[in-house]
Structure 1
């Protein structure tokens, strides 16, 4: 899109909205938060009674009895992703660097296409509880333990800490006198209530409610911001070419265009295809079709994030001069919306943040229970496993509460998330993709790639991002790490022992699967054919990217 001719715009003023939470707002917030806990627990308890009759207690608690239909899968995927990093991070990132941050969203549709075509079928075919368990079935126990350990680390120090910090920003915007650690702890406890009690069933129901309300909330804020700006031309004039373009030059410090391939794609593949936190929703799907349709639903919703969360952040440039970009979203809410409605949006934001935290807690407890306890003590009863999972939930929560305040040293929340992942996840993505795509990859190659390159990634992150010893854009660092992992996997596999082909036969890609499925899909209605729906989703993605490029 081209910048329009010069237009006259009003002089930008520094505006300080009144963040006072009035009685009506406070009432709405309390009622919503209480209802959003009671309803999932009640419905989750009813669903649990039904699922425990058809499946084990552990399967019911950790995977909801594997009986979720596609709308719940799709909305839960969106809610898990729609954390404070969406409300606070996307709006703040857009205010700071422009609409190019949408790359992390539109690239999701490409990644989900890969997921539903080539990865999800193998996960469901294996019948696993966790993705580390899948690595044991494909490789061996060493890889399972290594990846399970990383998943716990990522859950506590990256995913959950970032979500809690985002929520604390919202709370401190409303109540500046509240210490950040108090805000973090309060949000954590709020999230833990139904995670500990209800398991994945309650979490999925809660996620579906939160996703629906927060999407509506984002739409309301977009409309209010659109009505408040002087004009669309004024937004272009204030933002400039760089901030109104999806594709940025290769030397851009925030999101250079080669980084879309070397970094954004790799980070997205980790998050949507190898992260237990996200994939656990599809593992609980009733069937492969329901898992695929749910993922497609999530992809279509992600495309709307440009309008719901990113453009309001850019439009805010014509309205405010803010020192902290991460305060953009709460500023828009309290400055532009009437009392009561602003309370509902704040409640939705807090609920979305706690919804992400509850998902992370369930993921962490599943890994502790099924990958560590069940593996080393297989005689443990189902009831004991559920109890251990609840204890693990509390421990993970405490660790995240302690770490979350340290995120404040990064420029924006999104910078923290993307820079950390860029150094840590390339080996994980390489192991999963190569393991499914090439039967020659052996167990030793997978294990060594994880235990050598991931610690090196931590060291590189500290030297480059924290201490700034050398200058390297983090998205390029991701590409370097991924290439190194591919080389390491290939070399060790070729010179090492050939894997047991009987073990890997059902867990690696073959052309016959595509042909067999093609025959099965003949006569399937268009609305139910995941290949047609995927094509529509990708076409919509291309249209958006071309329009805003």
Structure 2
């Protein structure tokens, strides 16, 4: 139960967030407005929205719990993400923006083959519904049941899903983008307060360092480490990071809404900078939790234990509001991006003459359908041993073929549709096989190492199969126009200001990793 004052804080915040989404939706929604916010987003909104999407309930509970159980090596996901955002902002984002696409599967079709677009759209939809949306509903329900004792798991899931759908359906990306920006600010602020109280109660930094188990405060772990071996960090993490930050529709769609290439680049770099704060605001408080609650049955309990055990009235309400706001942000982002994929990759292909009003209507219907499916799947997550392992293991086995297609497709004009189909077939087949071998414990390969193995096989298949077919002059010209070099030069990119931002961010990231190595 929450104190009465905290219920008031929670009600005011969620009502304000919902009102903001509805106010931003009070305009006629064209397809460009509904799915890409009319290309009018500035870099601060983009950066904060990216962080608002990333600081999800799964991250708050899963990352804090992983830090509690295994140490700060979980932060490797974040600093590698920042480094990837630097590279993506400088080189890959301009090429994607120059292509003027609505979705990343649409980009793959132009670069390779319509069949690849269908495969990636289906893969992305499945991941959004079963990972992003269902995971957020699961985490949010854990909190809602603490706030409203006696509320059933199923009713809590439906309530949260319905709230998220309201402004996602009505306003599209514009309302999602700016409510996520607000959520990014509030989420970081509430995490700061929890970190302060956690370290103060634990006795300060020196007490945490002294009590932490050996290796708990080191980012670089031995190759034998079952969770974060340095081999997986060096080779597997960049693959998963490239998929998430460079091909994930939820993430890239925010940058596709930029009003200029420079705004898209600066928004990505701003998000990369804010991500570095996760070490201090989310990861290290999990380590401090070892002193405060040393014998938890499940490490996923630590975030809620600290929140309800340490935060004073008022701030507790704000933190819970930020948590549920993060839930709303993640759900609305997943539902809006899923609706974009359904309408642009399937509906518009089947009905190319459909009006903007018809396309938007299908987008809203798709949002509701995705909400229902994710709500039905969310209770199944309880059957898995760990929330974070559920997220990362599925991504490790499923997404490396997509990373191979995007990376080589933008770097090598010779890559073609035949190679892409072979990469999808061999990579997906190997990923499924490794997943089965891991689950049955026949070959319990660390999932980060498995991610790199699947990526390498996909990349090799793409190269070898592409070389078996000669390109026509038309194909050669079309493929070359979508590679990084030509698109980048054509857009006249690379301002000194953006390059300076990128260099400074890369230096800060490298210094942080060196300090905590």
- Interval of TM-score (by shorter of Structure 1 and Structure 2): over 0.9
In the alignment, structure 1 residue 483 sits paired with structure 2 residue 456:
yes
* Structure 1 CA distance for aligned equivalents of residues 98 and 130 of structure 2: 31
* Structure 1 CA distance for aligned equivalents of residues 132 and 490 of structure 2: 38
Q: How does 1:8-407 map to 2 (within 5 A)?
A: 20-45=1-26, 48=27, 57-175=30-148, 177-320=150-293, 321-407=295-381
Displacement, 1:325? 1.4
In the alignment, structure 1 residue 421 sits paired with structure 2 residue 389:
no
* Structure 2 CA distance for aligned equivalents of residues 345 and 395 of structure 1: 30
* Structure 2 CA distance for aligned equivalents of residues 372 and 409 of structure 1: 33
TM-score (norm 1): 0.90
- Partner of 1:241, secondary structure, is coil
- The superposition leaves residues 343-373 of structure 1 with CA deviations (integer Å, 9 ceiling, x where unpaired) of 1110110111110110000000000001101
Instruction: Indicate the residue corresponding to 2:500 in structure 1.
Output: 532
Displacement, 1:259? 0.7
* Structure 1 CA distance for aligned equivalents of residues 133 and 58 of structure 2: 11
4+ residue segments displaced more than 6 Å: none
Displacement, 1:300? 0.3
Instruction: Indicate the residue corresponding to 1:15 in structure 2.
Output: none
CA RMSD of aligned residues (A): 1.8
Is the 1:130–1:366 contact (alpha carbons within 8 Å) kept by the matching residues of 2? Answer: yes
Displacement, 1:183? 2.3
Unaligned residue ranges in structure 1 (runs of 5+)? 1-19
Decide which moves more: 281-290 or 253-262.
253-262
* Structure 1 CA distance for aligned equivalents of residues 432 and 136 of structure 2: 21
Inter-CA distance 372–291: structure 2 relative to 1 (3 Å threshold): same
- The superposition leaves residues 459-498 of structure 1 with CA deviations (integer Å, 9 ceiling, x where unpaired) of 432x134333321111111011001001100100011232
Displacement, 1:382? 1.0
Is the 1:43–1:202 contact (alpha carbons within 8 Å) kept by the matching residues of 2? Answer: yes
Is the 1:419–1:465 contact (alpha carbons within 8 Å) kept by the matching residues of 2? Answer: no
* Structure 2 CA distance for aligned equivalents of residues 60 and 516 of structure 1: 23
- The superposition leaves residues 106-161 of structure 1 with CA deviations (integer Å, 9 ceiling, x where unpaired) of 11111101211221111111100001111111112111111111111111112211
Instruction: Indicate the residue corresponding to 1:14 in structure 2.
Output: none
- The superposition leaves residues 68-102 of structure 1 with CA deviations (integer Å, 9 ceiling, x where unpaired) of 11111111111111111221111111111111100
Decide which moves more: 440-449 or 69-78.
440-449
Q: How many residues align?
A: 514
Decide which moves more: 27-36 or 426-435.
27-36
Displacement, 1:176? 5.7
Inter-CA distance 68–416: structure 2 relative to 1 (3 Å threshold): same
* Structure 1 CA distance for aligned equivalents of residues 35 and 103 of structure 2: 10
Inter-CA distance 60–155: structure 2 relative to 1 (3 Å threshold): same
Is the 2:223–2:231 contact (alpha carbons within 8 Å) kept by the matching residues of 1? Answer: yes
- The superposition leaves residues 223-260 of structure 1 with CA deviations (integer Å, 9 ceiling, x where unpaired) of 11121112433312322222111111110111011111
- Partner of 1:378, secondary structure, is coil
* Structure 1 CA distance for aligned equivalents of residues 441 and 499 of structure 2: 45
- The superposition leaves residues 155-195 of structure 1 with CA deviations (integer Å, 9 ceiling, x where unpaired) of 11122111211212222344564333332222111111100
Is the 2:94–2:487 contact (alpha carbons within 8 Å) kept by the matching residues of 1? Answer: no
